[in-house]
Amino acid sequence: MALRLGEIAERLGGRIVGDEGLLIQGIAPIETAKAGEIAFVANAKYLKKGAETGASAIIVKAALDEVKKSFLVINDPYYAFARLLTIFHPPRSYPPGVNPRASVGKGVSLGEGTFIGPLAILEDGVKIGERVQIRAGVFVGEGSEIGDETILYPNVTIREGVKIGKRVIIHSGTVIGSDGFGFAPHKGRHYKIPQVGGVIIEDDVEFGANCAVDRAVLGQTLIGRGTKIDNLVQIGHNVTIGNDTILVSQVGISGSVTIGHHVTLAGQVGVSGHLSIGDHVMVGGKSGVTKDISPKQVVSGFPPVPHKDWLKREAAVRHLPEIKKQLKMLSKKIDQLEMQSLTSKKNQAKEE
């Protein structure tokens, strides 16, 4: 595929500084780009690499007078880069239809343009929207619903009674609607609590590989519109997550937690059960959330404290060996001074 730089600007809503007729045949990182390719600079600290790149053109927020290149100038270079990748590398399309090696139950509804891959299993009463892609080996349980233009990659498991919205992307190995971790202790043993609720995934959510979302005990586990979830994330039963939240790899959320919208939980954050995290909260990596967090906080640590305080605490911890050594020296000096004072008092008493 090849596009003129001017045509790219028209599609993305930017302007050209330089040669609009340049033919762009691909996209590459600024460090490795070569002639015929376009690169992007989203952070000002990388601007100096623009003078060294072999790219024919660079996507930037502002043109560089000292760099003799053609520029696509746009307010958000990173977003423009993402859109341009989609233009040059459109998602793979599959011809509509049901593979003969798929298993389709009774009363299944399939929307127009939908693809069902080999060894996929759709149980009775499943409803599939339009232009859905269900790849090889996917399981969709009885009565579940899949919205328009959703993609389920190979070996995804959607248990019974799950509702998935439009344009959802779920990567391989993820399980939606597995049983919540509920057991009633009785006379020294643990008795399973039936998990009879469901899961609702709203529009434009994306799951990475090998995530697990537990069905509710009663009611629904809910993932809000536009939320993005990295690989290896665990979401417990009856959790509610607001819109446009980010959960980074290996986050673990216990049951009945409520998370607001536009929240970010960094890698390996753990959240105890029955807590509330407010809107626009950011929690630093490896933190352990053990109490409610009010909106618009940036916290880190275990238990979490304001991020700036955590940074100061961590900086102080690195100096503990030195501080310990100084304390020992001061303790010895104090002992010596006390001995000298005691000796002086004894001598004064003798003279009197």
- In order along its 352 residues, the chain shows pLDDT tens digits of 899 999 999 999 999 999 999 999 999 998 899 999 999 887 766 666 667 889 999 999 888 777 788 999 999 999 999 999 999 999 888 999 999 999 999 999 999 999 999 999 999 999 999 999 999 999 999 999 999 999 999 999 999 999 999 999 999 999 999 999 999 999 999 999 999 999 999 999 999 999 999 999 999 999 999 999 999 999 999 999 999 999 999 999 999 999 999 999 999 999 999 999 999 999 999 999 999 999 999 999 998 888 888 778 777 778 788 888 888 888 888 888 888 888 777 777 766 6
187 class by beta-carbon count within 10 Å (0-12 exposed, 13-18 middle, 19+ buried): exposed
Note the pLDDT of residue 306.
Answer: 84
Domain 97-309 has CATH 2.160.10.10: yes
Fill in the amino acid letter for 16.
I
Note the pLDDT of residue 264.
Answer: 98
Query: Is 190 in the active site?
Result: no
Note the pLDDT of residue 45.
Answer: 66
Report d(CA 184, CA 220) in Å as an integer: 20
- For residue 99, give both structure tokens: 């593979």
Q: Given 171, 186, 190, 237, which residue is catalytic? A: 237
- Nearest of 292, 228, 224 to residue 264 by alpha carbon: 228
Report d(CA 214, CA 218) in Å as an integer: 12
Q: What's phi and psi for 91, nearest 5 deg?
A: -55, 145
Query: What's 3-88's CATH class?
Result: alpha beta
Q: Which residues contact 291 (CB under 8 A, 6 or more apart)?
A: 275, 303
Note the pLDDT of residue 339.
Answer: 85
Which residues, in sequence order, are bridge partners of residue 229?
A: 207, 247
Calculate helix-pair angle for 5-12, 77-88, nearest 10 degrees.
110
Residue 86, SS3? Answer: helix
Report d(CA 38, CA 51) in Å as an integer: 14
Which residues, in sequence order, are bridge partners of residue 170?
A: 152, 207
pTM of the full structure: 0.87
Pairing of strands 246-247, 37-40: unpaired
Note the pLDDT of residue 67.
Answer: 78
Residue 98, SS3? Answer: strand
